[in-house]
Chains A and B, each alone.
Chain A
Amino acid sequence: MSPRWRNRILGGLAIAVVGAAIYFPILKRRVQRAARLQQQSEEQARRELTLATPVSPGQPRVKSVLFWASSAEDGSLAPTTVELPLSNEPMLRAKQVLNTLLAGPVDAELRTLPPDAALLEFYLLPDGTGIADFSEALATSIPSGIQSEQLAADSIARTLEANVSQVQRLRILIHGQETETLAGHLDLTGTFVVNTKPSQAPGKTPLAPPTAGAAIPGNNAPAADKPPTSGAKERP
């Protein structure tokens, strides 16, 4: 090969390398954007399949407060006000606010619930106990850990407290079943305090006897006299 051709080939290769170096970051961005769009469309498809809650277009839009993670990244929640056409019927209203909570905030980093989780059903018992039945993804997709699991339960409880006054306490089911924990840490066998209005204080509800397990000797401390704080948990 003559030196002239060798130089031409080397020059061509150099141009190809420079071109690739310029094009690669652009290609990477496009792939990432496409992946994001695909993820969003999959999430949207899942929601359309599971989201049977009708919106209430005839209802006037009201200011609703939803609790997602605080941007301070300190494990706390922050209220966000959004205008929603909420139903006056408590169960439907609860479904509407929880579905909005599941849809997530504008900043996806502040999510408290996994994007693929869905609310399957919401029931409200006459004693004020709300039962939220979520898809398995709530348990399987949530980051495992005390902080993330507690934040998820607190965001649900506080959002209900702010928007559906009839819900006094909350029980969380996973795919219709009571589970021991959310993702290995947070206790789901009891109910979470939602609303601590004095007229219907959860601490004054009759306590069921223990259903399982042995008993151990000891004394009872005055914890029963304390009103539970928001986000605290009580046994059924």
Chain B
Amino acid sequence: MRESDLVLEYAVQARRALEAKGFQVRLTRQGNDNPSFDDRSAMANAQRGTVFVTLHVSSTGSPGTVRVYTMSDFPAAPNATGLIPWDRAQAPFLELSHRLGDLVQGQLTLQFKGSPNTAQPATVRQLRTTAAPAIAVEVSSILVEDPAELARMGTGITDAIARGVAAFRPIYDASPVPGAVP
């Protein structure tokens, strides 16, 4: 099983789980096309009230565990114009991303023992240009003895993501300005 196929399968399942909770979902790819990081960010940044979830399967880590990453702290650019520079788009959303990440990670850890309790910081390229609460979810690992095991994890992963995003919704709604946690 190829990683890209598995991730797409997870994404389709996540869409179903999120739609069941009343969210509108857009996938950044439909098949084996490979949009650039900026193309994916552009799709998310064009929406309002968005959260962004990027899914990955690693080739390391304890098999059967799932980690959530949020962008490491990095300084925002000076705000003279009121515009957010593209290459720092995530900076104003870091706090909200951490809260979303912790909520999703908490749900995942209930399902997958051995996963961390909180989201981890990482300098993920995809997250940097995303102007919304954004997390990366990485499943360990593509090297499991039985590839079907990864497919079976899909339901638990996507249900946990949907529950985490649903728990985040009131926090996001109560945030008056994007990026500012009340």
**Residues of A in contact with B (beta carbons under 8 Å apart):** 73-75, 143-148, 150, 153, 180-181, 185-187, 189-190, 192, 203, 207, 209-224, 226, 228-229, 231-235
Contact = CB atoms under 8 A, between A and B. Distances in A.
A153 to B, nearest CB: 7
Nearest to A224: B75
A215 B74 CA distance: 17
Contacts of B126: 185
B58 A145 contact: yes
Contacts of B170: none
Given A145-B58, A235-B74, A223 B125 contact: no
B105 interface: no
Contacts of A228: 72-75
B72 A231 contact: yes
B72 A75 contact: no
A223 B75 contact: yes
Interface in B40-93: 45, 56-62, 67, 69, 72-79, 81-89, 91-93
B16 to A, nearest CB: 25
A214 B179 contact: no
Contacts of A234: 74-75
Given A145-B138, A187-B124, A216-B45, 20 more contacts: A73-B62, A145-B57, A146-B122, A147-B60, A147-B61, A153-B123, A207-B75, A209-B85, A214-B86, A216-B89, A218-B83, A218-B179, A219-B79, A219-B178, A221-B76, A221-B92, A221-B94, A232-B73, A234-B75, A235-B74
B128 interface: yes
B151 to A, nearest CB: 18
A155 B45 CA distance: 33
A71 to B, nearest CB: 13
B75 A213 contact: no
A233 B121 CA distance: 10
6 contacts: A146-B122, A146-B124, A181-B125, A209-B77, A213-B86, A221-B76
B14 interface: no
B136 interface: yes
B144 interface: no
Contacts of B3: 144
Contacts of A215: 81, 83-86
B129 interface: yes
Contacts of A217: 82-84
Contact of A223 (B94, B123, B131): B94
A213 B78 CA distance: 16
Nearest to B83: A215
B131 to A, nearest CB: 6
B123 to A, nearest CB: 4
Nearest to A75: B61
